Amino acid sequence: MPPDTYLSAILAVHRARAAADRRDLDDLVARAQRAPATRPFAPPLSAPAGDPLAVIAEVKRRSPSKGVIDADLDPGRAAADYEAGGAACVSVLTDIEHFGGSPADLGAARAACSLPVLRKDFTVCAADVCDARLMGADAVLLIVAALSDDELLGLRTLAEELSLDAVVEVHDQAELGRALDAGADIVGVNQRDLTTFAVDRDRALALAAHIPPEVVAVAESGIDGPDDAFRLADAGYQAVLVGESLVRAADRRAAVRALTGHRVGVRRRAHEVTG
């Protein structure tokens, strides 16, 4: 797949599926509202300054840019190892076509641990939010670059109504503004450009000071080990979302534990940085 078509190609698949979905949305919402209670996702990430860095450890079989990461990955075993290593939450890819994930992976991971679980996928419609709740997720991913302002607000509001936390993903300051306008209380800064899939490890550092202190700040992608994680913690991030390096680790428990061994720095407001 040519690199400049990653995001558009993935979204085309998800939007086509949403357009073909003939299920009754009112029924989906009602069923989601009756689903078993969720595990709160935000509190384990909301560490005050001085607490260890929170790790959202990801179950990820493959990616469009890296190909196969672990074709034989056991989601339940990985989640149990992540919890034993001190992870705060688990993230599970459920996109089938591009990441090799599935709702079954999420169910297996959640059943194997007591941690809250994020459905990591390309959420484009209300049915996607309901499906996340029905498959057992505790949080849903909303990618600002994939949604209009009305969609972003509507899906975040629906998630809240269904007792799901929403991780609102951004890539630059304009998207951060849109996320905050939509009421995001967990912001994930993805250092991977979803158009080219290239990683910019300075992206999260540049945005850190612009995330209000009351918003949980999560850094995503391009985190290959403790040095990367500690650099982000020093910038004020309360959590990191790490996938590939943990999946590939020979000892996943030890790999998670190494990422948590840093003290969180104090995130400063932009005006305090710029003077």
Mean pLDDT of 167-182: 96
Q: Is residue 251 part of a domain?
A: yes
Annotation marks residue 65 as catalytic: no
Number of folded domains that form the chain: 1
Q: Is residue 244 part of a domain?
A: yes
Burial of 4 (0-12, 13-18, 19+ CB in 10 A): exposed
pLDDT band at 163 (very low <50, low <70, confident <90, very high): very high
Annotation marks residue 66 as catalytic: no
| pLDDT tens for each residue of 200-245 | 788 899 999 999 999 999 999 889 899 999 999 999 899 999 999 9
Of 63, 91, 190, 245, which residue is the catalytic one?
190
Q: Is residue 121 part of a domain?
A: yes
Of 91, 120, 175, 244, which residue is the catalytic one?
120
The per-residue pLDDT for 273 is 42
Q: Is residue 45 part of a domain?
A: no
* Residue ranges making up the domain that contains 233: 3-35+53-265
Annotation marks residue 151 as catalytic: no
Of 63, 221, 244, 245, which residue is the catalytic one?
221
The per-residue pLDDT for 2 is 37
Closest CA to 173 of 154, 187, 185, 183: 187
| pLDDT tens for each residue of 15-61 | 999 999 999 999 999 999 999 999 999 999 987 666 789 999 999 99
Q: Is residue 256 part of a domain?
A: yes
Annotation marks residue 60 as catalytic: yes
| pLDDT tens for each residue of 91-103 | 999 999 999 999 9
Q: Is residue 270 part of a domain?
A: no
pTM of the model: 0.91
Distance CA 66, CA 93 (A): 15
Of 63, 83, 169, 244, which residue is the catalytic one?
169
Of 83, 220, 244, 245, which residue is the catalytic one?
220
| pLDDT tens for each residue of 235-246 | 989 999 999 999
The per-residue pLDDT for 262 is 63
Provide the CATH number for the domain around residue 106. Answer: 3.20.20.70
Closest CA to 142 of 162, 163, 109, 119: 119
The per-residue pLDDT for 265 is 60
Annotation marks residue 175 as catalytic: no
Q: Is residue 184 part of a domain?
A: yes
Q: Is residue 46 part of a domain?
A: no
